[in-house]
């Protein structure tokens, strides 16, 4: 369940980033999408790592 949510968020942030690049003048949207993509990936990685250790 959690992986579906994380995967959905990653897909959403990727779409937002691409839309920010394609639509001129919305560079801030690309930056925001990129930051959120990296943050979501880090959370998913941390959860997976915690599960492996326990």
Q: Cβ of 9: how many Cβ atoms within 10 Å?
A: 17
User: In the prediction, which pLDDT does 54 show?
Assistant: 56
* 7: helix, strand or coil: helix
User: In the prediction, which pLDDT does 19 show?
Assistant: 83
Q: 27-40 burial by CB neighbour count: b if 16+ within 10 A, else e?
A: eebbeebbebbeeb
User: In the prediction, which pLDDT does 27 show?
Assistant: 79
Cα torsion through 11, 15, 16, 20, rounded to 10: 150
> Could you tell me if 13 and 37 are in contact, meaning their C-beta atoms sit under 8 angstroms apart?
yes
User: In the prediction, which pLDDT does 47 show?
Assistant: 79
Question: For residue range 1-53, what is the model confidence (pLDDT) as tens digits?
Answer: 677 888 888 888 888 888 878 887 777 877 888 888 888 888 888 877 666 66
């Amino acid at each position: 369940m959690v992986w579906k949510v994380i995967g959905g968020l990653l897909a959403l942030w990727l779409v937002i980033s691409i839309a920010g690049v394609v639509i001129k003048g919305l560079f801030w949207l690309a930056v925001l999408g990129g930051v959120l993509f990296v943050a979501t990936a880090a959370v998913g990685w941390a959860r997976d790592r915690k599960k492996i250790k326990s």
